Structure 1
Amino acid sequence: MNSLVAVFALILATLIPAQSFGAPISSPGKTAGNGPCVTSGSDNSQIQSTKNTMKTCYSVGETGPGGGIVIFYSQTAFAEPGAGCRSSCHYLEAAPTTGPAAWEFPAAPWSGITDTSSGATGSAIGTGYRNTTLMISQSGAGSTGAASLAKAYRGPNNKSDWFLPSKEELNLLYLNAAIVGGIGADYLWSSTESDGSTAWVQGFGDGVGGNFQKFTLWKSPPPVRAF
């Protein structure tokens, strides 16, 4: 009897191959999968936490969907009103400074209107797109101010939702300047105004910033986009 059982077990093992139901393997950097991303492990690899629509995870320093450099990731979604991701944003990418569609840091006033408030007072992460919209919507803003230049940028992948970063978004760019590359030690505009005649500028040599006259020809930073 024992020999018959052994033979039967051998036949089953031959006819029915073993199946693995282990968890998906994550690897450092970009990982294709489903649902929002979470960080996992000491190597900052990112894995998928749910099974919804197809999405892709990115690490800071990688190339984003717009062709820029990812400078920020938040596991918790943040809102960037007006941007395509709306209230479900997880990343910010900055325009590239080399290669196709490289940002060239044009010197520009903050806006064509330099003595009247536009209402672009948001300073937090998630307020740059709205600030930019308010700036370029102001009558007489023109097309040569920092916000207009950022909004006109399309990047390597022809995206139309780039914007001038807010004060805190600009600081993220400063903190990741070495990753983006090519920025130097110039003073760069943010989209955050203090009042009708001044707006926030940050120096990329030492990180120190302050409010300066909007008509000053500071350089325009690489536009950013949320996704």
Structure 2
Amino acid sequence: MKEQNNTIIKSFIIALALTIIPLTALARDSLESLRNDLNSAITQINAQQTQINNLQAQINVLTPVVYAIGDTGPAGGIVFYVTEGGIHGLEAAQVDQGYAPWGCVDRNTFAIATLVGTGSQNTTTILAVCNETGIAAEIANNYQLNGHTDWFLPSIDELELLYLQKDVIGGFYVDRPYWSSSEYSSATARFKSLANGGVGTSGKNESLHVRAIKAF
């Protein structure tokens, strides 16, 4: 009787095993299918996120940064003048670049422009005509900040804007005159006094302070 019971139990176990094994294999296949579906979904989500990131980058490019006076500019200077609602403007270096003569004494460089927006061309003109080293235009032109190299000596009107925001920009010798890039004659060039805002001319051989600016 005992042997018969053992035989029945063994038969039951075998039958149960034969039933479980296919079910386990089926479950394994189902689990693998679910895993594949999950991986596929993750891949699609990652691809969609990449598309979103690319679209956001395009939006950032198309949406210009707007600056206000006193902000740190694109090159790391201080914004002191803005146009087009802050999209463009001028920024100034936060420190002086030196103390130097204007240069080209008794020689016309024809860098005579005075208006806002002409300082860069004045600087280029001075350096093309005057091959002296250590002059104000060269010092301003050679200034570099955060990889930006397109700095220049301001025109007299740009220097006026600089004067109006001197407290915002900081770092000036307020009792000293600063050179502009605006030539007045073969022997003189225009300067701006930061003590009282006065504009004058001085001999090109005189050493005055230099503060570079940059357009953005």
**Is the pair's TM-score, using the shorter chain for normalization, greater than 0.5?**
yes
Q: How do residues 61-210 of structure 1 correspond to structure 2 at under 5 angstroms?
A: 61-75=70-84, 90-97=88-95, 103=96, 105-111=97-103, 113-140=104-131, 142-155=132-145, 157-183=146-172, 184-210=174-200
* Greater RCO, 1 or 2 (C-alpha within 8 Å, sep 6+): 2
Matched letter for residue 151 of structure 1: N
Q: CA separation of 1:34/1:121 partners in 2, compared to 1, >3 Å: closer, same or farther? A: farther
How far is the alpha carbon of 1:53 from its aligned partner?
2.1
Task: Report the alpha carbon displacement of residue 211 of structure 1 after superposing the two structures with TM.
Answer: 1.2
**Deviation of the 1:143 alpha carbon:** 2.4
CA RMSD of aligned residues (A): 2.0
Percent identical residues? 35
* Structure 1 ranges of 4+ moved more than 6 A: none
Assess if the C-alpha contact under 8 Å between 2:109 and 2:130 holds in 1.
no
Normalised TM-score (structure 1): 0.65
Alignment correspondent of 1:60: 69
TM-score by length of structure 2 reads: 0.69
Shift of 1:54: 3.5
Structure having the higher helix fraction is 2
Residues 182 and 189 in structure 2, CA contact (< 8 A), matched pair in contact too? yes
**Count of residue pairs the alignment pairs up:** 158
Return 5+ residue gaps in structure 1 as ranges. 1-32, 36-51, 78-88, 98-102
Q: Distance in 2 between matches of 1:158 and 1:57?
A: 21
Residue-by-residue CA offset, 1:145-164 (whole Å, 9 max, x unaligned) = 00000000002x12110000
Residue equivalent to 1:12: none
Q: Is the 8 A contact 1:188 1:218 kept in 2?
A: yes
Distance 1:204 1:34, change over 3 A: farther
How far apart, CA to CA, are the structure 1 residues paired with 2:59 and 2:215? 19
